[in-house]
Amino acid sequence: MSFSQQHRIAISWHVRAGLLLVGLLCAALLGKTQTREAFRADHMDTVLYGVAYYPEYMPYDRLDQDVQLMQKAGITVVRIGEFSWGLWEPEDGKFEFAWMDRVVDKLHAAGIRIIMGTPTASIPAWLYKAHPEIVVTRIGGQYLYYGYRQNTDLSNPTYRFYCERVSRKILEHYKVNPAIIGYQIDNETSSAGAANHDVQVGFADYLKSKFKTTDTLNKVWGLNYWGQRLNDWTELPPRDGIINPGWKLEWERYSQWMTTDFLAWQASIVNEYKRPDQFVMHDFAGPPRPEVNEPEVVKSLDIVAANPYHGTQDQFDGEASSYVGDYVRSLKQTNYLITETNAEAIGWDSKEQFPPYDGQLRLDVYTHAASGANMVEYWHWHSIHYGQETYWKGVLGHDLTPGRAYDEVSRTAHELQRIGPQIVNIQHKNQVAILYSNDSYYGIEFMKFSDRVNYRTILRQMYSALYRSNVGVDFVFPESKNLSAYKVILVPSLYVASDAVLSKLVDYVKGGGNLVLAFKSGFCNEYSTVRW
Amino acid sequence: MSFSQQHRIAISWHVRAGLLLVGLLCAALLGKTQTREAFRADHMDTVLYGVAYYPEYMPYDRLDQDVQLMQKAGITVVRIGEFSWGLWEPEDGKFEFAWMDRVVDKLHAAGIRIIMGTPTASIPAWLYKAHPEIVVTRIGGQYLYYGYRQNTDLSNPTYRFYCERVSRKILEHYKVNPAIIGYQIDNETSSAGAANHDVQVGFADYLKSKFKTTDTLNKVWGLNYWGQRLNDWTELPPRDGIINPGWKLEWERYSQWMTTDFLAWQASIVNEYKRPDQFVMHDFAGPPRPEVNEPEVVKSLDIVAANPYHGTQDQFDGEASSYVGDYVRSLKQTNYLITETNAEAIGWDSKEQFPPYDGQLRLDVYTHAASGANMVEYWHWHSIHYGQETYWKGVLGHDLTPGRAYDEVSRTAHELQRIGPQIVNIQHKNQVAILYSNDSYYGIEFMKFSDRVNYRTILRQMYSALYRSNVGVDFVFPESKNLSAYKVILVPSLYVASDAVLSKLVDYVKGGGNLVLAFKSGFCNEYSTVRW
Amino acid sequence: MSFSQQHRIAISWHVRAGLLLVGLLCAALLGKTQTREAFRADHMDTVLYGVAYYPEYMPYDRLDQDVQLMQKAGITVVRIGEFSWGLWEPEDGKFEFAWMDRVVDKLHAAGIRIIMGTPTASIPAWLYKAHPEIVVTRIGGQYLYYGYRQNTDLSNPTYRFYCERVSRKILEHYKVNPAIIGYQIDNETSSAGAANHDVQVGFADYLKSKFKTTDTLNKVWGLNYWGQRLNDWTELPPRDGIINPGWKLEWERYSQWMTTDFLAWQASIVNEYKRPDQFVMHDFAGPPRPEVNEPEVVKSLDIVAANPYHGTQDQFDGEASSYVGDYVRSLKQTNYLITETNAEAIGWDSKEQFPPYDGQLRLDVYTHAASGANMVEYWHWHSIHYGQETYWKGVLGHDLTPGRAYDEVSRTAHELQRIGPQIVNIQHKNQVAILYSNDSYYGIEFMKFSDRVNYRTILRQMYSALYRSNVGVDFVFPESKNLSAYKVILVPSLYVASDAVLSKLVDYVKGGGNLVLAFKSGFCNEYSTVRW
């Protein structure tokens, strides 16, 4: 969906939202209670503990046995449904819920809370057959084909049409189900490098909307260089051959906007259905992730979630988990969820099969809780016997019987049942912050100063120094308004920054703040143009 | 040619075979002798010794001189014709034999036996001009163009049409020639990674034929994973984007089938013409070669041949030659041929120009003979002055005059004339075998446990240990029925194995056999699905 | 433009040349002086010293300030206009000169001489929009898109049409301007690996023209190998899949011819306009550059120029500059120009930001002058704030104010004003030469003998030995007629050489010359075919 189409569709949402209001009114008149408080991330009753659960992946039906094992272990939450579009809608327009109803019912009966996912991250084969054009074509022409997940053009209207329909059907079906505590939209979303025709058209629309005239572009990107100035928007060449750093940065911003917009749109659909006590969230893959503008995405979410995986055995050190935790907590400045983390050994091949030492699973849970996590879920309950993630092992191994990991999960779950209410909703009041600039990551990537060191290396060095010194740290962003809350702000190479951002830092220092600024900071303006 | 087309064509072969029977009957009535015994690989009269010979590659006519030099050296066999389609059929449908007749006549007059090759491994330029679609397109869209050899889609009906016609013409012309002792079909054949449209269609046919319903596929490949289940065969996506290990394994099996089928088809054509005293064979490139199912291919052949190249100078150690020899001998459990091995230095550039030390050529001959080879041929007689193999040197160097290699070949030839009849038809009665599983190679490749070590590494470690301990070894296969003939069977990581194969191994042990089983054995069933 | 089209167009040039003659006659009658001597590279009045200058790249107008700073520094020459087609012709057929007129006028007023470039090396966006087919498609299908420069198919008639029109407009406009001392055509031209359809057709035309029949090709390239012989020209396959070394060498020769032809054509256009006191030149990128046949290109030029960049700080050693200088001087056996060399740090990223030590800028100038350079120009005056060359720094840094580099340039300029007339037009009478064979570079590349060492490595080893022994050296070529002028000729691996060239070397030795011949010399004839 192009930038301008998006605005037109936004209007139709308003119409739909109006209809919804009428619906809600009717529902109230019919006696449905709407009195429970709206969901608050810092008002949870305990630290939830559980797994992603895919009974549909199993080679035989073992639902009863699974639920019994979960209940026995003390698991309190599962995430379901987020990768099963092909089961929700096995044929175009034919929806099936029975297969999931029995899962939801049995989990609910066992007292296990449920997070339901929209299944849009992996399209069914019938949809690919009908619409191969919705799959990503990358810069240079590489086409991703069918077989992978997260390989669709997020702005494609056909893809959006099918996403919307399946999501509404699921939401409609489960909205009254008391077992559902919240919804996850999509999964670890990014633009996947999409440069499809409609993405290129959307980028041109975005540029028009942002810069108005090509003369502005000529100026901010210095297009007199090599005589590449544009007379009008029809002359804008495809992104594929572009090497201008400002142009490339703007493309990355548009790619990020595609994700932001797609998730905001999905959240708006969920919001039409969800109850006040339910949340809508999205799980970020290993944030901070440059291709996703997490600070923008979270504006549409009730609560933030992340999927941090960590080294195990001697490589386990907690820093990686805290790093993600501090970052994710800072996005909405409150508690968050861990939707995925290692149960046993992980990997997309079998090279890294190092299951955690005894105690490391438990240690990881409290690491996350200490950073502000109000939930820890493993990916995943079972190990799968086929597919790319055969060796991304679950709480249960391939034999599907309780083993060492299950036992430690069980011990930890029971401990959490006791102390969870005391440690939930932890708040941090840190005096030190790190300023994170996604733009600076890309600005430096396009003009690398090293093959070994980049923006993230410097960021991580700063974080490590603080972590090893036991100094609590938040993240702030170029758009943040709360800088003065911190005694010290560390700034990794802020290569790309507008005058406004630089002024804000100057003001911070003038107001008594202590700023540690890495090299190459302030080098370029917001268009990745070197200052003169 | 697709799987189903193949079955239709098989019927037409029966018709053709009937006509042939009539023809043979007529020939018998006309007085042709058909009394010589059928060819037996273990009934040869001596160890044949010779070269591949391409007089057509020479910059000037030197046939007489070459034949004289061969005769003087004591060479007893040459292989000819297998790369010269463009000379056999210089224009579409115009066949020329005179250029080869004089070669055959002069070799025959000199008492040198001839193996004649079908020339299908390298298409003429006129055929490419008319039918560029017969050249391989690989997964992801890479098209191989013209210029290389072994770059055709083996299942393409157009390619098959031209292959059949040129082969029949050559066979028809030479079938009565007494100099021809046997035929080589194609050369070092593989599917070359073909994923052309007709290959993808053929793969779908193959799946239909093997699995009947997509529901079976959904089950054996676990297609509920990421919701990728198929409703019907029209939803089968192209192979290009697939990452499911079971799917990928089945594709490899189909790719192998393409080679098996192509060679069986070629052999069936040769069989219509060849005399009982002649053989049909194919030369495998450095077997075992995962992309070729050698145990299946040999079912169509009278005798097996291989092209092992080895290190020279200090890298010469005989193990590589024995490894290939033991493997190739085991394919039909009898003697075999070496159709190509190093004469002088080899390489597709000039980086590895290390000609053998004195005595290494002779040593290599007896290494092969000791493994059961009844023939050793060098690739090749001349060195060529142009083309990719300029530095893949022959018995004669670029100066085309006898040198050190010629002298050692001559000494060895004369020695073989003396002792050949004593050492030919060597039989091995080994008490140890290694079980080779092509499927396990691929199963592990798709879920690698190491970047350094793979199935072949483990296989080779086992072989090395036996070789260095001077223990004679055969190879057996998952389909082999003779396991009980061995006291010890070593099994490299048998990652992919059906229940039937595992039962066979259990039975072997129950019957007193000693089984050495490497790690990861029995992990997956025949669909590369982890057992539960 | 294809080879045969080129000949047709050559005829039309003769017609145009005739018209020009009439024009010149008229001009003479109208009183224009044509009495100044024709330009001679060895008759210059001083060593020119200056910069490439792109005021159009600056974020604000600072022309007056720049000219003042140049004048103050003592700069005597600038090169302008060669990358600004989009400014010369902002829309199809609409030409603008005012933006450049004020630059030319102010420089002239300041006594600074001007070299004007034709802007064909970087096409405008409107031209790409209308004619994306003029951009290079490489072997295998890679298309270069818009965004880069030097990415056009030099033989494409559409590209040629636009090149000719813009060049003629600029020449027409400036031909009477006394500030212009000469013209640069295009910039660092090469075929950029173009294998567009029209290039493949042109290559076929070239082969027909050179070899007449495909039978000749069959013979010189040994196309009986793998049966790839051609019956007629229609069977010639595309270059993409070719691995035959002789074929590949001939393709490289054709690629080189495309550059030679394009530059000869541009020079012929300039020659229609330029005054006798003006020169036409082209700047070679880091010669010798195998993809350009510099000895052929220079036949169309009055004077040769080169763009050598060198290591700085501890990596500065002068050998690289002398190497290029000796080579470029040898091309026309007289003085030459340095059009680009390091001012400050260089690089297409920011990894190599090592500005020269104090004194290295000056040292570099005299290094070039000592080799015979009559001009040294930096690339470039300003540092640019956007685009790929942001970190290819100028005499002025990004702050655009005089700094350390400016100061050293200024000191050197004033010194040159004093001693320039004494050191200009230096002539060398060397007794030693190195024979450079572009063909041998490619011949060896296609049959590499090493991954570390190639033709250039050996060439450079020979040059280094001479440089370090303080022996002055010229370069000669296979076509050179002056071998007897040298006491010693060193020949790096002359892998590809005709009988005529080998005879010439034999004659040289017979005549008393001393020849040092590296290994692999004389191996192949002129078609990269090994001698027999």
Digit-coded pLDDT (tens) for A286-308: 899 999 999 999 999 999 999 99
| Contact between chains at C529 and B386 (C-beta distance less than 8 A) | yes
Q: How far is CA B7 from CA B16, B156, B206, in A?
A: 14, 15, 11
Residue C220 in contact with residue C195, Cβ under 8 Å? Answer: no
Q: Is C511 on the interface with B (CB under 8 A)?
A: no
Look up the pTM and report it. 0.93
| Contact between chains at C386 and A225 (C-beta distance less than 8 A) | yes
Residue A52 in contact with residue A380, Cβ under 8 Å? Answer: yes
Q: Which residues contact C3 (CB under 8 A, 6 or more apart)?
A: C202, C205, C206, C209, C257
Would you tell me which residues 392-411 of chain B have a C-beta closer than 8 angstroms to some C-beta of chain C?
Answer: 398-400
| Contact between chains at C226 and B149 (C-beta distance less than 8 A) | yes
pLDDT at residue C37, as a whole number:
65
- CA A508 to CA A516: how far, in whole Å? 12
The one-letter amino acid at A491: V
pLDDT at residue B37, as a whole number:
64
Would you tell me which residues 402-461 of chain C have a C-beta closer than 8 angstroms to some C-beta of chain B?
Answer: 447-451
Q: Which residues of B touch A389 (CB under 8 A)?
A: 225
| Contact between chains at A386 and B238 (C-beta distance less than 8 A) | no
Percent of chain A surpassing pLDDT 70:
93
| Contact between chains at C128 and A237 (C-beta distance less than 8 A) | yes
Confidence of residue A38 (pLDDT cuts 50, 70, 90): confident
* Neighbouring C-alpha atoms within 13 Å toward the C-beta of A413: 22
pLDDT at residue C12, as a whole number:
40
Q: Is B179 on the interface with C (CB under 8 A)?
A: no
* Neighbouring C-alpha atoms within 13 Å toward the C-beta of A341: 32
pLDDT tens sequence across A235-267: 999 999 999 999 999 999 999 999 999 999 999
SS3 C373: strand
Q: Report the candidate in A474, A490, A521, A247 with the shortest Cα–Cα distance to residue A372.
A: A474
Q: Is C245 on the interface with B (CB under 8 A)?
A: yes
Q: Which residue has the higher pLDDT, B37 or A175?
A: A175
| Alpha carbon of C523: minimum distance to chain B alpha carbons (Å) | 10
Q: Is B90 on the interface with C (CB under 8 A)?
A: yes
Residue C292 in contact with residue C262, Cβ under 8 Å? Answer: no
Residue C464 in contact with residue C457, Cβ under 8 Å? Answer: no
Helix axes C319-332, C455-468, angle to 10 degrees: 100
The mean per-residue pLDDT over the stretch A46-62 comes to 97
Pairing verdict, β B48-52 and C336-338:
unpaired
- CA B193 to CA B239: how far, in whole Å? 12
pLDDT tens sequence across C68-87: 999 999 999 999 999 999 99
Would you tell me which residues 94-123 of chain A have a C-beta closer than 8 angstroms to some C-beta of chain B?
Answer: 119, 122-123
* Neighbouring C-alpha atoms within 13 Å toward the C-beta of B125: 24
- CA B159 remoteness from chain centre: 19
Asked whether the predicted pLDDT for residue A34 surpasses 80, the reply is no
Q: Is B504 on the interface with A (CB under 8 A)?
A: no
Q: Search chain A and give the residue with CA nearest B219.
A: A59
Token digits of residue A476: 């702030």
- Please, which residues bridge with residue C376 across strands? C49, C338
- CA A152 to CA A199: how far, in whole Å? 11
- Burial profile A149-159: b = 16 or more Cβ within 10 angstroms, e = fewer: bbbbbbbbebb
Say what the ipTM of the complex is: 0.92
pLDDT tens sequence across A85-115: 999 999 999 999 999 999 999 999 999 999 9
Q: Which residues of B touch C448 (CB under 8 A)?
A: 349-351
Question: Can you tell me which residue has the tokens 């289940």?
Answer: B229
Average pLDDT, chain B: 93
Residue B342 in contact with residue B367, Cβ under 8 Å? Answer: no
Asked whether the predicted pLDDT for residue C184 surpasses 90, the reply is yes
Q: Report the candidate in A157, A135, A142 with the shortest Cα–Cα distance to residue A201.
A: A157
- Peptide linkage before A380 cis (omega within 30 of 0): yes
| Contact between chains at A124 and B246 (C-beta distance less than 8 A) | no
Asked whether the predicted pLDDT for residue C25 surpasses 60, the reply is no
Q: How far is CA C480 from CA B278, C41, C488, in A?
A: 61, 20, 15
- CA B17 to CA B268: how far, in whole Å? 9
| Contact between chains at A386 and B246 (C-beta distance less than 8 A) | yes
- Please, which residues bridge with residue A336 across strands? A373
- CA B20 to CA B28: how far, in whole Å? 12
- What is the count of residue pairs from B and C with beta carbons less than 8 Å apart? 125
- CA B453 to CA B457: how far, in whole Å? 6
How far is it between the farthest Cα atoms of chain B?
Answer: 71
Residue B174 in contact with residue B116, Cβ under 8 Å? Answer: yes
pLDDT tens sequence across C398-432: 999 999 999 999 999 999 999 999 999 999 999 99
- CA B335 to CA B48: how far, in whole Å? 12
Q: Is A531 on the interface with C (CB under 8 A)?
A: yes
The mean per-residue pLDDT over the stretch C490-500 comes to 98
pLDDT tens sequence across B422-439: 999 999 999 999 999 999
- CA A498 remoteness from chain centre: 26
Q: Which residues contact A229 (CB under 8 A, 6 or more apart)?
A: A214, A218, A223, C86, C87, C90, C124, C125
Q: Which residues of B touch C215 (CB under 8 A)?
A: none
The mean per-residue pLDDT over the stretch B402-431 comes to 97
Asked whether the predicted pLDDT for residue A178 surpasses 70, the reply is yes
Confidence of residue C32 (pLDDT cuts 50, 70, 90): very low
Asked whether the predicted pLDDT for residue A372 surpasses 50, the reply is yes
Residue B356 in contact with residue B316, Cβ under 8 Å? Answer: yes
- CA B323 to CA B287: how far, in whole Å? 9
- CA B4 to CA B203: how far, in whole Å? 10
Asked whether the predicted pLDDT for residue C5 surpasses 80, the reply is no
Q: Report the candidate in B327, B369, B334, B304 with the shortest Cα–Cα distance to residue B463.
A: B327
Percent of chain B surpassing pLDDT 90:
92
pLDDT tens sequence across A427-454: 999 999 999 999 999 999 999 999 999 9
Token digits of residue A114: 């449920």
| Alpha carbon of B528: minimum distance to chain A alpha carbons (Å) | 7
pLDDT at residue C38, as a whole number:
81
CA angle C24/C27/C33 to nearest 5° reads: 100
Confidence of residue A13 (pLDDT cuts 50, 70, 90): very low
Q: Which residue has the higher pLDDT, C8 or A273?
A: A273
| Contact between chains at C228 and B147 (C-beta distance less than 8 A) | yes
| Contact between chains at A447 and C56 (C-beta distance less than 8 A) | no
Confidence of residue A5 (pLDDT cuts 50, 70, 90): very low
Burial class (CB in 10 A: 0-12, 13-18, 19+), B251: buried
CA angle C95/C96/C97 to nearest 5° reads: 125
Burial class (CB in 10 A: 0-12, 13-18, 19+), C240: middle
Which sign, positive or negative, has the C-alpha torsion B407, B410, B414, B419?
Answer: positive
Residue C270 in contact with residue C118, Cβ under 8 Å? Answer: yes
Neighbours of chain C (3+ CB pairs under 8 A): A, B
- CA B83 to CA C246: how far, in whole Å? 19
- CA C197 to CA C207: how far, in whole Å? 15
- Residue from B87, B122, B390 to probe the interface with C (highest C Cβ count within 10 Å): B390
pLDDT at residue B429, as a whole number:
96
| Contact between chains at C241 and B83 (C-beta distance less than 8 A) | no
pLDDT tens sequence across C350-393: 999 999 999 999 999 999 999 999 999 999 999 999 999 999 99
- CA B223 to CA B172: how far, in whole Å? 51
State the virtual CA torsion across A165, A170, A173, A176 in degrees, nearest 10. -120
Q: How far is CA C391 from CA A222, B247, C211, C398, in A?
A: 15, 49, 48, 9
Confidence of residue A37 (pLDDT cuts 50, 70, 90): low
Q: Search chain A and give the residue with CA nearest C88.
A: A227
- CA A403 to CA C187: how far, in whole Å? 70
Residue C475 in contact with residue C436, Cβ under 8 Å? Answer: yes
- CA B140 to CA A326: how far, in whole Å? 41
- CA B137 to CA B514: how far, in whole Å? 46
State the virtual CA torsion across B251, B255, B260, B261 in degrees, nearest 10. 90
Q: Which residues contact C468 (CB under 8 A, 6 or more apart)?
A: none
| Contact between chains at B351 and C531 (C-beta distance less than 8 A) | no
For residue B254, count other CB atoms closer than 10 A to its CB: 23
Q: Which residues contact B291 (CB under 8 A, 6 or more apart)?
A: B190, B191, B252, B255, B256, B259
Q: Report the candidate in B362, B384, B276, B359 with the shortest Cα–Cα distance to residue B53.
A: B384
Token digits of residue A37: 């408080």
SS3 C455: helix
- CA A406 to CA A403: how far, in whole Å? 5
- Nearest CB among A147, A350, A391 relative to B242 is that of A147
Q: Is B74 on the interface with C (CB under 8 A)?
A: no
Q: Is A228 on the interface with C (CB under 8 A)?
A: yes
pLDDT tens sequence across C88-127: 999 999 999 999 999 999 999 999 999 999 999 999 999 9
pLDDT at residue B10, as a whole number:
39
| Contact between chains at B234 and A56 (C-beta distance less than 8 A) | no
| Alpha carbon of C225: minimum distance to chain B alpha carbons (Å) | 6
| Contact between chains at C146 and A529 (C-beta distance less than 8 A) | no
pLDDT tens sequence across B194-227: 999 999 999 999 999 999 999 999 999 999 999 9
Q: Is A124 on the interface with B (CB under 8 A)?
A: yes
- CA B26 to CA B41: how far, in whole Å? 29
